[in-house]
Amino acid sequence: MTSQPLPGFRDFFPEEHASLRSIFSAWREASHRSGFREYEGPELESLELYTEKSGEEIVGQLYHFKDKGDREVALRPELTPTLARMVASRHRNYRKPIKWFSIPRLFRYERPQRGRHREHFQWNCDIVGEKGGVAEAELISTLCLGLSLLGLGPQDVVVKISDRGWWDAFLTHQGIEEGKKGEVLRILDKLEGAPQEEWQKKLGSLAEPVAQALTSKAIQSPGLNEVRQGVADLGYGNWCEVDLRVVRGLAYYTGVVFEVHDRAGKFRAVAGGGRYDHLLKKLGGEDLPATGFGMGDAVLSELLREKKLVRPVAARAEIFVVAETGERSLALQLAGMLRRAGHAVDYDPASGKWAKQLELAEARGARWALLVGREAAQGKLLVKELAARKQGQVSFRQDGGGEISLEWGVGDWAKVVA
């Protein structure tokens, strides 16, 4: 038996989990500020949901098996098919546009490497029922807000925007059949950053026109222009660049697509998304336009570490109750009362020497120690402000029903200590 998790899976010890929580809270805050409502779906879905909708790359990375009821099932590798399934089943209950977000844990059997694992958390924001580029502008500005809440700015990351619609027209012009376009786009997706010879090898006669198109300044895409205008109006114009090399690996995208990369180009994409107007219909739902993005925690954490922006949300006790032997019951009553009153309270379950208990209080990062000693018989408790090494006394009363009340509320303890 090993003490390590499976390859590509991560343990989050409390310190690491505190960093993860700070990422989640930025994601949630940005979603709420931008009017997205949170939802969640199941971790396990029918295999078919992905084999038909996600495209070859993800299907090759699925964790799938037969369940005990002989159903072919898969751990979710992405959330978009689940969202499309959920919206298709109940969209009449919701006014359009639907703006939803979620932070699922996803599973892909990839080769583990820096920023890539076999599970990751992914912030998803999606808008269903809006055709206009203002939807993508809304999504891009929301993800920029989320990144800025973590301390990142346009000097650190760039949102590269492209248009699959433009690629579609270009490939038609080049005489590529409809059924072959997906394959060409998948090849293009993999070629980012590859040397010229590789392009030639993989694209053959298409390499030349593609290279020309990519360097051309005269690209016409009304869709892109609308998105860029919206993003600029929302205040994030300087975060974005048009970059047609972004085509996205997933099969369902139909229009404007985008990816977030670190400016230095050291890491893989921090986020990716785009328009997928036909997915809902394919799932048997109404023909509703949709667009969205997913941002993973793994690459983002690498980037935050590099920029020294990791700010863990520490879960610390505010008050640590220290009890003399014999006063244990009163100490527990105080802890319970203070917790019910809204405070974060901890204590040493093995009540030993005061000094030992105070050591634990400091290790837990508590601001206050509330000491329950012999003076409790006279209705007195000792309060210590640990870091400031100050202390004072507070009185308490216990009514006939055992209810405890303090003479000074915790908010006033700073006035009590000297």
Cα–Cα distance between 336 and 315 in angstroms, integer? 18
Strand partners for 397: 405
Q: Among 36, 293, 320, 368, indicate the residue that binds ligand HAM (CB under 6 A).
A: 293
Residues 36-95 interacting with ligand HAM (rule: CB under 6 A): 78, 80
* 3 state DSSP class of 203: helix
CB of 292 to ligand HAM, least distance (A): 3
Helix or strand (DSSP H, E) at 399: none
Residue holding tokens 């505190």?
Answer: 18
Shortest spacing between CB 77 and ligand HAM, in angstroms: 8
Site string for ligand HAM, 7-46 (x = CB under 6 A): ----------------------------------------
Q: Give the integer Cα–Cα distance in Å for 384 and 391.
A: 4
Among 85, 117, 186, 261, binds ligand HAM (CB under 6 A): 117
Binding to ligand HAM, residues 186-245 (CB under 6 A): none
Residue from 120, 160, 228, 367 touching ligand HAM (CB under 6 A): that is 120
The binder of ligand HAM chosen from 140, 271, 371, 376 (CB under 6 A): 271
The Cα 409–Cα 292 span in angstroms is 48
**Which among 28-36, 267-275, 329-337, 392-400 is the span making contact with ligand HAM, rule CB under 6 A?**
267-275
| Rounded Cα distance, 297 and 303, in Å | 10
Q: What does the alpha-carbon distance between residue 291 and residue 265 come to, in Å, rounded to a whole number?
A: 25
We find the least distance from the C-beta atom of residue 96 to ligand HAM, in angstroms, to be 17
Long-range CB contacts for residues 304-312, cutoff 8 Å, separation at least 24: 304/19, 304/23, 304/150, 304/151, 304/152, 306/266, 307/151, 307/152, 307/156, 309/150, 309/151, 309/152, 310/19, 310/22, 311/19, 311/22, 311/150, 311/151, 312/15, 312/18, 312/19, 312/21, 312/22
Q: Pairing state of beta strands 271-275 and 44-46?
A: unpaired
Confirm if 58 and 45 have CB atoms less than 8 A apart.
Answer: no
Give the binding range for ligand HAM (CB under 6 A) out of 28-36, 219-227, 268-276, 309-317.
268-276
Stated length of the chain: 418
Strand 390-398's sheet: what is its strand order? Answer: 345-347, 319-323, 368-372, 380-385, 390-398, 404-406
CB of 195 to ligand HAM, least distance (A): 23
- Closest approach, Cβ 51 to ligand HAM, in A, equals 15
Query: According to CB under 6 A, which one of 206, 256, 270, 317 is a site residue for ligand HAM?
Result: 270
Residues 6+ apart with CB under 8 A from 391: 382, 383, 384, 385, 417, 418
Contact criterion met (CB below 8 Å) for 258 and 162: yes
State how far the Cα of 188 lies from the Cα of 73, in Å rounded to an integer.
31
CB of 31 to ligand HAM, least distance (A): 13
The least distance separating ligand HAM from the CB of residue 160, rounded to whole angstroms, comes to 12
* Span 294-313, contacts to ligand HAM by CB under 6 A: 294-296, 298-299
Site for ligand HAM in 332-391 (CB under 6 A): none
- 124 forms part of the interface with ligand HAM (CB under 6 A): yes
Nearest residue to ligand HAM, scored by beta-carbon proximity: 296
CA distance 116 to 17: 18
| Contacting residue, 31, 122, 141, 301, with ligand HAM by CB under 6 A | 122
Residue 274: burial class (beta carbons within 10 Å; 0-12, 13-18, 19+): buried
Contact call for residue 251 and ligand HAM (CB under 6 A) = no
Residues near ligand HAM (CB under 6 A), total: 23
Identify which range of 129-137, 263-271, 302-310, 377-385 contacts ligand HAM by CB under 6 A: 263-271
Span interacting with ligand HAM, options 26-34, 120-128, 190-198, 394-402, rule CB under 6 A: 120-128
- Nearer Cβ to ligand HAM, position 249 or 365? 249
In the bound complex, what is the minimum distance in angstroms from residue 3's beta carbon to ligand HAM?
A: 23
Q: In the complex, which residues of this chain contact ligand HAM (CB under 6 A)?
A: 78, 80, 108, 110, 116-117, 120, 122, 124, 126, 250, 269-273, 292-296, 298-299
